[in-house]
Amino acid sequence: MRLSIVTGLTLLVAASPAFAAASMPDQSRARELAQDAVIVDTHIDAPSELLSHWDDLGLAAPGKEFDYPRARQGGLDVAFMSIYTSPEADAEGKAWQIANTQIDAVEAMAGRHPDKFALLRSPRDLDSLRANGRVTLVFGMENGAPIGEDLSKIAAFHARGVRYITLAHSANNRISDSSYAPKKQWGGLSPFGEKVVAEMNRVGIMVDVSHLSDDAVRDVLRVTDVPVIASHSGMRHFTPGFERNISDELARAVAAEGGVVQLVFGTGFISPKAAADLQAYFAAEVDFDKANAAAAAAGKPERSKDDFEKEWKDAHPVPVIHIDLVLDQIDYAVKLIGIDHVGIGSDFDGVSGNLPVELRSVADYPNLVAGLQARGYSDADIRKILGGNLLRVWSTVEAAAKH
């Protein structure tokens, strides 16, 4: 997820070390399991962060939430690097260029540190590539805009290592309606979008239904021949009316087709107040754009977008949350759709630090493991949540590919 309004948002109150120390169980067993299990995080926004402010992520990068030292500290094995392009980039015809530039940046980072990173193209290669402490990197494309109107670009992105595509982001596009769009364009997938899903099935790219409208998710499930994922979504049960999060009905439908819901950590998706504010922001942004368009047509000065966002941020401070909200999401999802259909997609580096106190970076997966252990999950079930379920879906999609 990349949203301009998230940038610069501050926490409502300072994090409480006393709370974290009191609420988290002993972590020795959790750290051991985190290091031994295969941890797959399906949404880390490092690539766009690299382009906005370059850091060598093979070394400690305190200004980021993903870097190699903390990834190893947390036990991360498979990091899906989000190749994000905005609706604005799509409108300006820049999405293809930006996507390929981000892929180049990650490839360069891995090339500089072959002892620390490896590019993962298939789950079959995971064990060999993560040997000797390497973190494997996979590409997940957030927004199908770089495809343009050319289906052949899907195979081109597969060749570059893209293994899932989020069909839309915060606006309707050529492929699909967005959950954030107040007015839908297609009533689900577009006719071209149905061809995109079929082509993704053919070449072996997972279809990601995060960010899509409910009708678009239904269309995806009607068209696809293989399981799909929600790469970074919350459960709408906790944020009523927030279409960006997945409904009980659609979560069940994803699971019924063998798919997996990867649960997100970001405050804006799991705090009811923050989710309501985020939804309201998009409505306010539409009104802002309309007002500016009217001003421009009348020859009057337009209002600054930066001023609009600052005023919004000041009026809507982001609440501090703790890991229990993430654990509640997992509990609910497991009871609703089963232990075999739940995973994690943090949104690290995509929400400007608006995260649970105990889940601030890729170093903190052991805190999640400790919380699950404290709630009675077996180690075998925790391994499924941490990565086993996602790897199963990926293997299924790869095996069904006809490229």
3-state secondary structure of 348: strand
Task: Round to the nearest angstrom and report the end-to-end CA distance of the chain.
Answer: 30
Residue 282 lies in a domain: no
Q: Is 172 part of any domain?
A: yes
DSSP per position, 354-385: -S-TT-SSGGGHHHHHHHHHHTT--HHHHHII
Note whether residue 354 is domain-resident.
yes
Length of the chain: 403
Task: State the residue range of the domain holding 173.
Answer: 4-270+321-400
User: CB-side exposure of 241: number of CA atoms within 13 Å?
Assistant: 10
Q: Is the pTM of this model over 0.85?
A: yes
Residue 209 lies in a domain: yes
**Count of domains for the chain:** 1
- Domain assignment present for 309: no
Structure-block tokens of residue 357: 């106190």
pLDDT confidence of residue 72: 98
Output the 3-class SS for 114-135.
CCCEEECCCHHHHHHHCHHHCE
Distance (Å, whole) CA 162 – CA 140 = 5
Q: In 3D, which of 250, 243, 246 has the Cα closest to residue 233?
A: 246
125: number of Cβ within 10 Å: 13
Looking at residue 218, its pLDDT comes to 98
236 within some domain: yes
What is the domain-level CATH number for residue 171?
A: 3.20.20.140
Q: Measured between alpha carbons, how far is 235 from 337 in angstroms, rounded to an integer?
A: 11
Instruction: For residue 170, tell me if it sits in a domain.
Output: yes
Provide CB contacts within 8 A for 28, sequence distance 6+. none
Contacts of residue 168, Cβ cutoff 8 Å, sequence gap at least 6: 143, 144, 175, 176, 177, 178, 211, 212, 216
What is the phi-psi region of residue 25: left when phi exceeds 0, alpha when psi lies from -120 to 50, beta otherwise? beta
- Alpha-carbon distances of 33 from 8, 262, 358, rounded to whole Å: 35, 20, 18
Burial degree of 244 (CB within 10 A; 0-12, 13-18, 19+): buried
357 - beta bridge partners? none
Tens-digit pLDDT string for the chain (403 aa): 555 443 333 333 333 443 444 445 568 999 999 999 999 999 999 999 999 899 999 999 999 999 999 999 999 999 999 999 999 999 999 999 999 999 999 999 999 999 999 999 999 999 999 999 999 999 999 999 999 999 999 999 999 999 999 999 999 999 999 999 999 999 999 999 999 999 999 999 999 999 999 999 999 999 999 999 999 999 999 999 999 999 999 999 999 999 999 999 999 999 999 999 988 888 888 889 899 989 889 998 999 989 998 998 899 999 999 999 999 999 999 999 999 999 999 999 999 999 999 999 999 999 999 999 999 999 999 999 999 999 999 999 999 999 6
pLDDT at position 21 is: 40
